[in-house]
Amino acid sequence: MTIKRISTGIPALDSLLSGGFKKNSVNLVAGGAGTGKTIFAMQFIIDGIKKGEPGIYITFEEKKEKACEDMLEFGWDLKKYEEQGKFTYLEYNPEQVKKILTEGGGIVESIIEKTKAKRIVIDSVTSFSLLYEDELTKKEASLALFELIDKWDCTGVLTSQDESKDDNTITSAMEFEVDGIILLYHVKKKGIRERALEILKMRGTKIPEKTISMEITSSGIKVDPKKVVEF
């Protein structure tokens, strides 16, 4: 049986993932501040819009006006897509997402039914996971969230903030339950910072065991699979 793939929005990355993310999968994009997580997530959404797959962007951290302004730098007119009914930007707090889980979908489900959204982003799940004190309840909440995304017939990208090399914010609850994990790096080497991307996990997909070069351009994220970055 052929696995249906959904483009990440980064062509060279798709080529490493047999065409992209598995349809209806949930994928975690993790990295420290300034590594490009939000750009990656938004590029995924924009790619879907251009392919007739509307998207929903749920954020705990960034105001809509600022996001719209920042994304114009890459030629992504979020306000235009929203007016066309292809894009929804929701400023939520973690408690509101928790409420979505207890309600079994709530307002997000209504938006998905109305817009026919096929891609969903949650930026970031770090704040959300802090609502749960122990690993078991965190795992249960994660599973409930992932089941909702699957029920909605959406493919999801979740971002996770990693503040330091020593503090692994990809909790075991998330790490084992998500379908894919992509790590973004912005590491200083001899006084110069270098960007890189690593596919840590991708269920049902043969992945390269290497950290590849990445750059943020005027049109978004680009990767060079032929250029291996050593830290």
CB atoms within 10 A of CB 162: 21
Q: Which amino acid is at 48?
A: G
The torsion of the CA quartet 212, 217, 220, 224, rounded to 10 degrees, works out to -20
Q: How far apart are CA 67 and CA 58, in angstroms?
A: 12
Return the sign of the alpha-carbon dihedral for residues 113, 66, 156, 219: positive
Q: How far apart are CA 145 and CA 105, in angstroms?
A: 9
Average pLDDT over residues 170-182: 73
Token representation of residue 166: 């020593």
Residue 172: pLDDT band with limits 50, 70, 90: very low
Residue 169: pLDDT band with limits 50, 70, 90: very low
Q: How far apart are CA 27 and CA 156, in angstroms?
A: 6
Residues 55-77 have pLDDT tens digits of 999 998 789 999 999 999 999 99
The CATH class that applies to domain 25-181 reads: alpha beta
pTM: 0.92
CA 74 to each of CA 51, 154, 217: distance values in angstroms, whole numbers, following the listed order: 18, 25, 8
Residues 116-130 have pLDDT tens digits of 999 999 988 887 777
Residue 167: pLDDT above 50?
Answer: no
Q: How far apart are CA 163 and CA 168, in angstroms?
A: 8
Residues 16-42 have pLDDT tens digits of 999 999 999 999 999 988 999 999 999
First to last CA, the chain: 39
Percent of the chain predicted with pLDDT > 70: 94
